């Protein structure tokens, strides 16, 4: 995946790029330099790689799409064509490592939602850190989109699953724009770069993507997984005990201090981001605050390219602690689809069309890999530090 990514340079291989920074907590809306002009061809090529990276970062699209156009199978076919096929691995965010921990609710979320997860107390959590792209053996890049999928197992038997990335906004407003960018960003067989003319046409037809890119590029990436902010991106709806419903977004803000990417040595091993994450968890638990942002009337709920205005109420509803790490070969998280529509009572999807799309493509990707031989992961926590 390399189309639009938030924190860093547009150099993500195989559609796994990421331009935004992981650890910035509030969307920074600095005016980005013009996307066109100057060395237009070079810029467009870079933008194409970035966009393809974000597409890779979210291999989660579509179940309701037109049978002759955007079926889930067609989306997954495109990802396989771009990234290649790797037996037993996810078609996107193929490279990853699994974690366990727990969520301590402080009870503050109860006034927003009746969901059991917000009652004061602790619930177990299983999850998976990943990098965008379909190659499970690709080298780590600071510019690649970072993902965190989580499953909260609630006391009443319900589950809450969420798939988050370190982009403050998503580059595409709907599945059609997502797919059109994927097509426009395909590398030319001769140059191995996207066709600048196709990218220019896509951006001209989708100005919201150009605006989202500016926001994404204004966020500097952090140095690793442990100090990244992860965003839910899409809007959901919370319902409280009295039946009052409100739109919300959520994000995980790291307790670990922010360190800018590039502040450390420029020489990295192939798995340096994962190795650093594993070493950190083995030394001490890692923590994030779960922050719920409450929307107000008029805030967009169906367009993930648009950030909400600053000043919206933000509620710290508890702390996520991750205290153990394991390989995909031994963790049940390997076979979990972090479907954003797996929600407990008190939470519901909004009218954002990307939600049902993500759910359906997750399912398609899982169906394909479930019947394949499982190849070993490149990330082996037991070997870190040896």
CA-nearest of 128, 117, 175 to 338 is: 128
> Pairing mode, if any, of strands 245-254 and 159-165?
unpaired
Compute the 3-state secondary structure of the chain and give helix, strand, coil in percent, each to the nearest 5: 25, 25, 50
β-sheet bridge partners, residue 294: 248
By CB atoms closer than 10 A (0-12, 13-18, 19+), residue 80 is middle
Cβ distance 110 to 242 under 8 Å? no
Is position 284 annotated as part of the catalytic site?
no
Cβ distance 2 to 171 under 8 Å? no
Catalytic residue of the set 14, 93, 219, 289 = 93
Phi, psi of 138 (to 5 degrees): -65, 150
Rounded CA-CA distance 122/318 in Å is 10
Helix (H, G, I), strand (E, B) or coil at 124: strand
Phi, psi of 129 (to 5 degrees): -90, 145
Number of Cβ within 10 Å of residue 284's Cβ equals 9
Q: Which active-site residues does the annotation give? A: 93
């Amino acid at each position: 995946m390399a189309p639009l990514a938030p924190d860093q340079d547009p150099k993500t291989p195989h559609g796994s790029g990421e331009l935004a920074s992981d650890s910035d907590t509030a969307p920074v809306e600095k005016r980005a330099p013009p996307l066109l002009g100057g060395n237009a061809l070079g810029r467009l090529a870079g933008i194409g790689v970035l966009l393809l990276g974000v597409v890779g970062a979210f291999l989660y699209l579509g179940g309701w799409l037109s049978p002759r156009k955007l079926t889930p199978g067609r989306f997954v076919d495109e990802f396989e064509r771009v990234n290649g096929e790797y037996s037993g691995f996810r078609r996107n965010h193929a490279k990853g490592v699994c974690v366990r921990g727990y969520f301590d609710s402080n009870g503050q979320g109860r006034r927003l939602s009746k969901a059991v997860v917000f009652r004061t107390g602790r619930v177990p959590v299983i999850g998976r850190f990943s990098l965008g792209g379909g190659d499970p053996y690709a080298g780590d890049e600071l510019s690649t989109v970072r993902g965190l999928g989580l499953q909260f197992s609630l006391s009443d038997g319900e589950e809450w699953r969420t798939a988050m990335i370190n982009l403050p906004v998503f580059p595409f407003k709907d599945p059609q724009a997502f797919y059109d960018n994927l097509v426009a960003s395909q590398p030319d067989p001769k140059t191995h770069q996207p066709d600048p003319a196709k990218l220019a046409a896509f951006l001209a037809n989708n100005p919201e993507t150009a605006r989202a890119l500016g926001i994404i590029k204004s966020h500097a990436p952090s140095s690793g997984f442990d100090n990244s902010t992860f965003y839910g991106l899409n809007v959901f709806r919370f319902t409280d005990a009295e039946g009052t419903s409100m739109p919300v977004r959520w994000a995980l803000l790291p307790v670990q201090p922010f360190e800018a990417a590039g502040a450390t040595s420029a020489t990295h091993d192939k798995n340096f981001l994962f190795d650093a994450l594993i070493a950190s968890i083995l030394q001490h638990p890692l923590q994030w605050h779960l922050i719920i942002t409450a929307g107000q009337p008029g805030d967009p709920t169906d367009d993930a390219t648009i950030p909400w205005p600053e000043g919206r109420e933000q509620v710290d509803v508890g702390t996520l602690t991750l205290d153990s790490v394991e390989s995909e070969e031994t963790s049940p998280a390997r076979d979990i689809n972090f479907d954003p529509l797996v929600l407990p009572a008190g939470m519901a999807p909004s009218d954002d069309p990307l939600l049902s799309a993500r759910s359906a493509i997750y399912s398609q990707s899982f169906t394909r890999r479930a019947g394949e031989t499982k190849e070993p992961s490149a990330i082996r926590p037991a070997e870190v530090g040896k």
